Chains A and B, each alone.
Chain A
Amino acid sequence: MEWINAIVQGVLLGGLYALFATGLSLMFGVMRFVNIAHGDFIIIAAFAAFTLTSLTGMHPLATLIVVAPVLALAGYANQRLILNRTLGKDILPPLLVTFGMSVVLQNLMLEAFTADSRRLQSGALETASFQVIDGLSIGVLPLLVFLVAVAVIWSLQRVFYGTGVGRLLRATSDDQTTVKLMGANNAHIFAIATAIASFVVAIAGVFLAMRTNFDPSIGPARLLFAFEAVIIGGLGNLWGTLAGGILLGVAQNIGAQIDPGFQVLFGHLVFLAIIAVRPEGLFPRIKA
């Protein structure tokens, strides 16, 4: 029974990893752009929601109404004003600039919010659960995180394949130069991609902060699993990212069930195995 429990909890954990990874996957898909500061943006979202709840007493989930659009706008501005300038033939400048951003953001957050460990409190929701069968209980919050991850990815797919903006994003992903020749403004399209990614980052940040504590320095640790989920799932495929997250979560929990020392190791081993067998990931949409 504990094995079934480990797998079920692992699937739910995969939802959280997929939420972390979606923004990263999207930005890479459209711009071939790896955002090293992704984890820190997640923590910024968490602090924004934390500030709102402590000022107004709002429920953490309700803060998303404000935090998600604000982060999307900030993401748009950041892309137009800074990140677009780093894009080019050389892949190093975006990496260096976002790495620098990561350091700057962590220290700004430390100045503004101190080093205290915080959490978004959601009262009874935090520990609520229901028993499926004897020995298998599912927490309401982890389930909610998983369902939201599925809903987010489903909505993004709808945007990509059902709207004009989505068509532009896909076209840019396929061939930037040709899209530019057709009269599209790449700078604007990139910024839209970042805005959408930042919207998802806000959701990831709020759920992370409801699950456990966060502090200004904790962002980078969240980046690794997000990367792995993106790579496992295949570049540019959002459903693939979800699958990657789930695979990672399940592998970690199976590892932990054998010995807690194997928890992180098993995740990495699955990642390496997939890189070895299918370097393009499970469901790639972009050819490497």
Chain B
Amino acid sequence: MSIHLSKDGKTEKSALWKPSRRRFLKSSAVASAAIVSGLSFTRRARAADTIKIGFVSPKTGPLAPFAESDEFILAGVRAALGDELTLDGTTYGLEIIVKDSQSNPNRAADVASELLLSDEVNLMVVSSTPETTNPVADQCEVNEVPCISTVAPWQPWFFTRGGQPDKGFDYTYHFFWGLEDVIAVFTEMWSSLETNKSVGGLFPNDGDGNAWGDENLGFPPVLASQGFTLTDPGRYQNLSDDFSAQISAFKQANAEIVTGVMIPPDFTTFWTQAKQQGFTPKIASVGKALLFPVTVETLGDAGHNLSSEIWWTPSHPFSSSLTGASAKDVAAAYTTETGKQWTQPIGFAHALFEVAVDALTRSGDPSDYDSVRDALAETKLDTIVGPLDWSAGPVKNVAKTPLVGGQWRLGGDFTYDLVVTSNGSAPAIPTGGAFEAIA
């Protein structure tokens, strides 16, 4: 029984010969059924009436702001598809099962394996920071179920999981931008103003901080080559209550630019102390802390003209392949529905399902893991976050999305508006104004 006929009539090796616990159990079960009924089979999740998508996201815990728009996005996807998927004239039921990672990598791995082993999902999607995407992608890779992930710069997703650029992964696919894009965007913003090119760096001792401050792959070598001098006092612990040491060091170096990748409470502590201790840089470009408008609002007027990288805005000239809605439409619908200002993860959460549905639809057989994976690998799709193409990535299994830079400005429809000011790396995305110094 090691050789059998698959659907298209070619012989292929049974899955039994690749040792994997889940595959073994499943294959044995299905194999016995197949022997009894005399049917041929390929490796599939279950009788192909309902297709299941598993979705892991941090609905609670410190990463919860990333998942805040998930309910809204899911409702939109369900409404657009009507809980079914039609391909080649066959209609399948479609079920999306959502599980909460509680912002905890161990928990993320647990719920992922539940989705894989108990719910037997056909496809996994996962979003929001390496703490969520990596454990889930690892589970999928081991269990050989296709997985699409996003909202984590690609280096921590790829290299931290032991990825090798020429080999890549077999079942896990990722789309987002990378560290090289942030560096390009930040230096573009800084070069557009007259400064003494002295930069103060605030890099915490976490995955992001160590990557950004890395001597070889992070900011330091690029800044040096572009004539900036970087003052990097060293890695601090997250949730620090005092930044006097860094402020003294920046003052001494006469830094006119401040950069880093900080969690929101730390940036607020730093920025408030900097003002108290008379340190007033012209530019502050900070990753992570300035992602969500509510966080910028907590700074009062002191948030004006703070700059950060921008992955997605309503003015991005893209639209959904699923619903046809433009970025602007989706953001507006979110505000109407929830009364809240749009946030950047909205576009990416939506795109995740665009890619999922597209891959399932093109797979020929959505219940077959390998067919879905093959379709996923060939994806070339214009999504709400831009064109995705896994054949053009920096490494295997990664597709890049465009990144621009901009500033939070007081006024507009909400307390703060995020204005795109620097689009050198992605000219298709329109700017909304010129880069300004902090007054």
The answer, yes or no, to whether A252 is at the interface (CB within 8 Å) is yes
Known interface pairs A128-B276, A137-B277, A217-B103. Does A117 touch B298 (Cβ–Cβ under 8 Å)? yes
Can you list, as one digit per residue, whether each of B59-101 has a CB less than 8 Å from chain A (1) or not (0)? 0111011011000000000000000000000000000000000
Inside 8 A of B237's CB, which chain A residues have their CB?
261, 263-264
User: Which A residues lie at the B interface, using CB under 8 A?
Assistant: 2, 5-6, 9-10, 13, 16-17, 107, 110, 114-119, 121, 123, 126-129, 131, 137-142, 211-215, 217-218, 221, 225, 249, 252-253, 256-257, 259-261, 263-264
Inside 8 A of B273's CB, which chain A residues have their CB?
9, 139
Chain A nearest CB from B272 CB (Å) reads 6
The answer, yes or no, to whether B244 is at the interface (CB within 8 Å) is yes
Q: Interface with A: B23-31, B263-271, B381-389, B429-437, which one? A: B263-271
Most buried by B among A119, A139, A142, A259: A119
B227-252, CB < 8 A from A: 233-237, 239-242, 244-246, 248, 252
Contact B244 A6 (CB under 8 A): yes
| Contacting residue for B236 out of A114, A212, A249, A261, CB 8 A | A261
Inside 8 A of A213's CB, which chain B residues have their CB?
264-265, 268, 295, 298
Can you list, as one digit per residue, whether each of B284-303 has a CB less than 8 Å from chain A (1) or not (0)? 00000000101100111010
Bound complex: CA of A33 vs CA of B16, how far in Å?
58
Bound complex: CA of A215 vs CA of B292, how far in Å?
13
The answer, yes or no, to whether B275 is at the interface (CB within 8 Å) is yes
Contact A2 B62 (CB under 8 A): no
Bound complex: CA of A175 vs CA of B245, how far in Å?
46
Chain B nearest CB from A2 CB (Å) reads 4
Main secondary structure of the interface of A (DSSP, over half): helix
Known interface pairs A115-B68, A119-B298, A263-B240. Does A256 touch B62 (Cβ–Cβ under 8 Å)? no
Given contacts A126-B300, A140-B276, 19 further A-B contacts (CB under 8 A): A2-B248, A5-B277, A6-B245, A17-B241, A107-B60, A115-B61, A115-B67, A116-B65, A116-B295, A117-B295, A137-B276, A139-B276, A212-B241, A213-B298, A217-B60, A249-B241, A256-B244, A261-B205, A263-B236
Contact B248 A5 (CB under 8 A): yes
Q: Closest residue to A225 on the B side, CB-wise?
A: B241
Bound complex: CA of A114 vs CA of B62, how far in Å?
11
Contact B248 A221 (CB under 8 A): no
The answer, yes or no, to whether B38 is at the interface (CB within 8 Å) is no
| Contacting residue for A256 out of B205, B242, B272, B299, CB 8 A | B242
The answer, yes or no, to whether B412 is at the interface (CB within 8 Å) is no
Contact B242 A249 (CB under 8 A): yes
| Contacting residue for B245 out of A107, A114, A253, CB 8 A | A253
Inside 8 A of B235's CB, which chain A residues have their CB?
260-261
Interface size class of B (residues with CB under 8 A): 35 or more
Contact B265 A212 (CB under 8 A): yes
Contact A260 B64 (CB under 8 A): no
The 3 closest A-B pairs by CB, nearest first: A115-B64, A139-B276, A119-B298
| Contacting residue for A119 out of B61, B246, B268, CB 8 A | B268
Chain B nearest CB from A53 CB (Å) reads 12
Q: Closest residue to B252 on the A side, CB-wise?
A: A2
Contact A121 B248 (CB under 8 A): no
| Contacting residue for A129 out of B205, B278, B302, CB 8 A | B278
Bound complex: CA of A257 vs CA of B245, how far in Å?
5
| Contacting residue for A217 out of B62, B244, B299, CB 8 A | B62
Chain B nearest CB from A284 CB (Å) reads 26
Inside 8 A of A123's CB, which chain B residues have their CB?
300
Bound complex: CA of A135 vs CA of B417, how far in Å?
36
Inside 8 A of A141's CB, which chain B residues have their CB?
272, 276
Inside 8 A of B240's CB, which chain A residues have their CB?
256, 260, 263-264
Chain A nearest CB from B293 CB (Å) reads 9
